[in-house]
């Protein structure tokens, strides 16, 4: 049986019968055990070059909404402990769970995404709050989106719309994900395309981060003339 591809921001559930503490650092073992035993998902992290070739292990993480600073817990889990795997939630499935003050803005955002042929998935605080029932969002929270773009995406229109949308609630953060598998922060990409000057942007894949030319990144995405 082939090993399923695990991508950054994907959600993973581990077998609660497995001691998840063994996958975490010594000081975080209790936190890891409690999280998994409650049936909460973990997020696939970027796999380091050191471990990228180890098909039997995967880097995962989760965040506890601890005050005044949140606690980030990292694990390197055996793939055999995975019992469920999904992509991040589509935006359409999260709107009903979002703060009431976000609803009008999210309706406008959804219209923009539909018009530009973009699939948006939610990660970060809103996703964590939905899955755990714990409080992650506050007045300063952003909405973190993975903007999946392909040949039918009207990228320039999407980025311009996001920039116009920014003053509304919520503030939109996140990445544009190309069909190549590379992702770039949407604000950085918008700035690069707006200036028109040859430049590089910081791109992330499932196992590395590096500077790449803007043209290389957008090549799989059809840009209208």
Of the candidates 192, 67, 224, the one whose C-alpha atom is nearest the C-alpha of residue 136 is: 67
pLDDT at 126 over 70: yes
Confidence at residue 60, expressed as pLDDT on a 0 to 100 scale: 98
Tally of CB atoms within 10 A around 79? 15
Q: Where are the domains of the chain?
A: 11-86, 89-218
Q: What are the two backbone dihedrals, phi and then psi, of residue 166, each rounded to the nearest 5 degrees? A: -50, -40
Confidence at residue 46, expressed as pLDDT on a 0 to 100 scale: 95
- The pLDDT-based confidence of 195 (bands split at 50, 70, 90) is confident
Is 142 an annotated catalytic residue?
A: yes
Q: Across the chain, which distance is largest between two alpha carbons, in Å? A: 55
- The pLDDT-based confidence of 51 (bands split at 50, 70, 90) is low
Q: What's the order of all strands across the beta sheet hosting 209-213?
A: 89-90, 119-123, 142-148, 171-177, 183-185, 200-204, 209-213
Please give the C-alpha separations between residue 215 and each of 179, 194, 222, in angstroms, as whole numbers. Answer: 14, 13, 11
Of the candidates 92, 175, 169, 93, the one whose C-alpha atom is nearest the C-alpha of residue 131 is: 93
pLDDT at 69 over 80: no
Average pLDDT over residues 212-222: 84
- The pLDDT-based confidence of 223 (bands split at 50, 70, 90) is very low
- The pLDDT-based confidence of 167 (bands split at 50, 70, 90) is low
Is 215 an annotated catalytic residue?
A: no
Query: 24-40 burial, b if ≥16 CB within 10 A, otherwise e?
Result: beeebbebbbebbeeeb
Mean pLDDT of the chain: 91
pLDDT at 52 over 60: no
Higher pLDDT residue, 94 or 104? 94
pLDDT at 147 over 90: yes
pLDDT at 224 over 60: no
Write down the catalytic residue from 15, 34, 78, 142. Answer: 142
Write down the catalytic residue from 34, 144, 173, 206. Answer: 144
Rounded Cα–Cα distance for residues 209 and 203 (Å): 6
Confidence at residue 225, expressed as pLDDT on a 0 to 100 scale: 34
pLDDT at 54 over 90: no
Of the candidates 6, 42, 24, the one whose C-alpha atom is nearest the C-alpha of residue 128 is: 42
What residues form DSSP beta bridges with 57?
Answer: 78
Confidence at residue 50, expressed as pLDDT on a 0 to 100 scale: 61
Of 19-33, 129-143, 149-163, 185-199, the range with the lowest mean pLDDT is 185-199
pLDDT at 24 over 60: yes
Rounded Cα–Cα distance for residues 62 and 95 (Å): 22
């Amino acid at each position: 049986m082939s090993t399923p591809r695990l991508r950054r921001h994907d959600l993973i559930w581990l077998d609660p019968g497995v001691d998840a503490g063994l996958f975490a650092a010594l000081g975080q073992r209790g936190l890891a055990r409690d999280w998994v035993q409650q049936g909460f998902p973990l997020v696939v992290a970027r796999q380091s070059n050191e471990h990228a070739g180890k098909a039997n292990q995967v880097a995962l993480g989760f965040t506890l909404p601890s005050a005044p600073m949140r606690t980030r817990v990292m694990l390197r889990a055996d793939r055999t402990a995975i019992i469920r795997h999904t992509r991040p939630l589509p935006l359409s499935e999260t709107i009903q769970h979002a703060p009431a003050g976000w609803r009008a803005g999210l309706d406008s955002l959804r219209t923009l995404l539909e018009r530009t042929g973009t699939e948006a998935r939610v990660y970060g605080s809103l996703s964590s709050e939905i899955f755990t029932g714990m409080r992650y969002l506050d007045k300063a929270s952003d909405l973190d989106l993975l903007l999946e773009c392909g040949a039918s995406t009207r990228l320039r229109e999407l980025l311009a719309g996001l920039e116009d949308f920014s003053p509304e609630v919520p503030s939109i953060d996140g990445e544009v994900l190309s069909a190549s598998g590379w992702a770039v922060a949407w604000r950085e990409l918008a700035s690069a395309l707006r200036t028109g000057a040859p430049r590089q942007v910081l791109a992330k894949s499932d196992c590395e981060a590096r500077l790449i030319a803007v043209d290389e990144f957008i090549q799989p995405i059809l840009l209208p003339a």
